[in-house]
Amino acid sequence: MNNYFRKVLIGALGLTVVLSFPSSSFSNNSTLNFVTPPPAETTAERDQRMKWWREARFGMFIHWGLYAVPAGEYNGQRSTRIGEWIMEWANIPRTEYEKFAPKFNPVKFNARDWVSIAKNAGMKYIVITSKHHDGFALYNSKVSSYDITDFTPYKKDPIKELAAEAKRQGLVFCFYYSIVDWHHPSQYVDAPGKDPTAGNRTTKMRAGGKEEYVKYMKAQLRELITTYDPAVLWFDGEWQDWWTEEDGQDLYRFVRDLKPNIIINNRVGKGRQGMQGMNKTDRQYSGDFGTPEQRIPPSGLPGVDWESCMTMNTTWGYKFYDDQWKTTETLVRNLIDVASKGGNYLLNVGPMADGLIPQPSVERLAGVGKWMSVNGEAIYATTASPFQAELTFGRATSKHDRVYLHVFEWPADGKLKVPVLSKSVTKAYLLANPKNKLEVTQGSEGITVAVPATASDPIASVIVLEQGK
């Protein structure tokens, strides 16, 4: 553990101790401000529950719903805003928004293709919107007719196929679920110039409506868990004034009771600090992992689980005119950057209303997969960089007695300068060419690796440093 981490850890632990509620009957664990409410769990049990997730490091986020029909345009109006929020920014009343449903007929949807695209990219899990803020259920919900089987001409349940196919191909299947619901009668909008039934950042809860709504949410969550067996529940929309920390704790317990080893993000309660996504330190409880959105934290925190979710262009839900695609190089380097800080990277695709993933996304994911097929070892099951400072040439990850150097800027003089490590280096080689040993010079001032004249990969060449005892 480096000094920076140590300082933060001590500070955060101190805070946790000071602020711990005396009434807490459950076990406090080592994860700073992430304190798990009942069911009680030891650190070892928690580590076991989080194991697959911590090792996965890379997942696919899928935002798919009725908003794929307008695809970012309503009555000729376009916006720089995110596509799945069109009900909000275009001020679309419920009854009008519902008219997208007859046009949602994804006959080209093919679960095998979607899962293959994720798998070939090197992704280990999939998180799909079961219900976004618009309230539309993308799965066959028995407690709502506002779902894909009852409300659209498609009539089938794509989630059933996707969950089964993910299992077949060895990917972990997970759900996103929005707490705010712009379609449910319990909630309404009270904002100047806004239709009371349109979408809005904040909604009001009708008197007596909350009990009925929580019952509805729990019924849907029960369906989701018992029918599709998700490994993560990824909540969102928790910032509504009518949603409290107590509501979050209650929902967390409800979900864990249904599936004890499920993993739940921090947006179930009120702990997250805005889009930075990590937890406020004055909260007793905030789910199992932090959720930075559209950003990568400047540094990681040991013992804190987090996942950066990011888009490939500028929207989550499909917008036909959004062509601001990140390059494959940026996507790969983001994945490396996240891993070097000890987090997971949840990269989004926004499929179209016909059921296809946009081609620019498919192409980029294939590019990421090409890099991962050679260098995946330097990402999966790794922990954060062992170096205190950010490296000038790129990033580092570690695993057991290995340090992986992800070189973005290849040294022109053939000498890669690396800060000292606690243990001496016994062997160095390029992950792309393990048989060819690289010469290493070590001293108190640092380590120098003699490298070939050109990079093995212009995006990031990975050099493995094996360390002795």
**Which of 100, 13, 2, 34 minimizes the C-alpha distance to 277?**
34
345: left (phi over 0), alpha (psi -120 to 50) or beta: beta
Stretch of 8-16, 79-87, 146-154, 189-197 lying at the interface with ligand H79 (CB under 6 A):
79-87
Residue 351 CB, nearest approach to ligand H79 (Å): 14
Q: Is 181 in the site for ligand H79 (CB under 6 A)?
A: no
- Which of 102, 274, 452, 458 binds ligand H79 (CB under 6 A)? It is 274
Nearest-angstrom CA–CA distance, 21 and 14: 14
Interactions with ligand H79, residue window 277-296 (CB under 6 A):
293
- Say how many residues touch ligand H79, by CB under 6 A: 12
Q: Which of 201, 215, 295, 400 binds ligand H79 (CB under 6 A)?
A: 201
DSSP reduced 3-state for 184: coil
Q: How far is the CB of 236 from ligand H79 (least distance, A)?
A: 5
Q: Choose the binding region for ligand H79 from 81-89, 105-113, 248-256, 414-422 (rule: CB under 6 A).
A: 81-89
322 binds ligand H79 (CB under 6 A): no
Residue 53: phi and psi, rounded to 5, are -70, -45
What is the C-alpha separation between 3 and 374, in angstroms, rounded?
A: 33
3-state secondary structure of 365: helix
Which residue among 181, 236, 247, 457 contacts ligand H79 (CB under 6 A)?
236
Site for ligand H79, residues 364 to 393, rule: CB under 6 A: none
Would you count residue 88 as binding ligand H79 (CB under 6 A)?
Answer: no
Q: Which 297-316 positions form the footprint of ligand H79 (CB under 6 A)?
A: 309, 316
Burial class of residue 230 (count of CB atoms within 10 Å of its CB; 0-12, 13-18, 19+): buried
Name the minimum Å distance from CB 176 to ligand H79: 7
CB 291 within 8 A of CB 239: no
Q: What are phi and psi of 382, to 5 degrees?
A: -90, 165
Q: Could you say whether residue 14 binds ligand H79 (CB under 6 A)?
A: no
Q: Which two tokens stand for residue 405?
A: 């150097």
- Residue 216 belongs to what H/E stretch? helix 209-228
Is residue 213 a contact point for ligand H79 (CB under 6 A)? no
Q: Which stretch binds ligand H79 (CB under 6 A): 80-88, 146-154, 337-345, 418-426?
A: 80-88
Residue 428 CB, shortest distance to ligand H79, in Å, is: 40
Question: Is there a contact between 307 and 351 (Cβ–Cβ < 8 Å)?
Answer: no
Strand 172-178 versus strand 125-131 pairing type: parallel
Query: Taking the complex as a whole, how short is the minimal distance between the CB of residue 311 and ligand H79, in angstroms?
Result: 9
Q: Within a 10 A sphere around the Cβ of 108, how many other Cβ atoms? A: 12
Of 293 and 322, nearer to ligand H79 (C-beta) is 293
Instruction: By CB under 6 A, tell whether 437 contacts ligand H79.
Output: no
Q: Candidates 239, 320, 380, 393: give the one binding ligand H79 (CB under 6 A).
A: 239
CB of 75 to ligand H79, least distance (A): 21
Please compute, for residue 319, the number of CA atoms within 13 A of its CA located in the half-sphere on the CB side: 24
- CA quadruple 395, 371, 170, 140: dihedral, nearest 10: 90
Do the bridges between strand 394-399 and strand 402-407 make them parallel or antiparallel, or are there none, so unpaired? Answer: antiparallel
Q: Are 355 and 109 in contact (CB under 8 A)?
A: yes
Pick the closer one to ligand H79 by CB: 223 or 236.
236
What is the footprint of ligand H79 within residues 27-66 (CB under 6 A)?
63
The interface region with ligand H79, picked from 37-45, 78-86, 250-258, 458-466 by CB under 6 A, is 78-86
Residues binding ligand H79 (CB under 6 A): 63, 82, 84-85, 201, 236, 239, 274-275, 293, 309, 316
